[in-house]
Amino acid sequence: MPSMINKRTVMTLFSDPECIYSHRVRIVLAEKNITVDILDADPLNLPEDVTDVNPYGTLPTLIDRDLSLYDSRIIMEYLDERYPHPPLLPIDPVSRATTRIYLHRVEKDWYTLVDIIIKGGKPAARARKELKESLLAAGPVLAAKPWFMSDDFTLVDTTIAPLLWRLPALGIELKGAGSGQVLGYAKRLFERPCFGKSLTEEEKELRK
């Protein structure tokens, strides 16, 4: 590994200030109050620090001394294991596995649609409609407990929060049955201190 990376004495996150994947990692960092250098990076012009350790050239990329991680979900789980308080995954194996299934479904069912919408073109309109309908259908689930299927704030919530924040920018306005439940959950997420701390200036502009 290049010497310039070995010289880093503080955990460093290379983050796209507009990226949903980088955002969810920043929420975890803020929730756990982890000392970290967060460096904004342009995904189209990556710094050598990233390209030297990340064979995929993607963001976010986390460098923690001799360790480099470049998948947002792996980064989040690493942070939760290294800094266990407050825990963002349940302690018992069954509940932990169930939470990971929820994470997988959010990524597969919702994040995939977000990626399609951002790319634009003809598929975006269909993806926008599908995401809106899916979120509204999830209203009762989102309202059943304070957090997603849980009394405790988890990695699932840190994953859904950036998506709900971006709905206006994605061209989605929630109305009708289920909308109040989704928006109520979103309000709880946005009022959590870690969420406010996680926002970049670019992300703040998404709601203006």
- State the catalytic residues: 19
Q: What span, in angstroms and rounded, lies between the C-alpha atoms of 61 and 82? A: 17
CB atoms within 10 A of CB 100: 16
Task: Write the CA distances from 6 to 12, 49, 52, 204, integer angstroms.
Answer: 12, 10, 12, 33
CB atoms within 10 A of CB 139: 20
Task: Write the CA distances from 131 to 50, 62, 80, integer angstroms.
Answer: 32, 29, 29
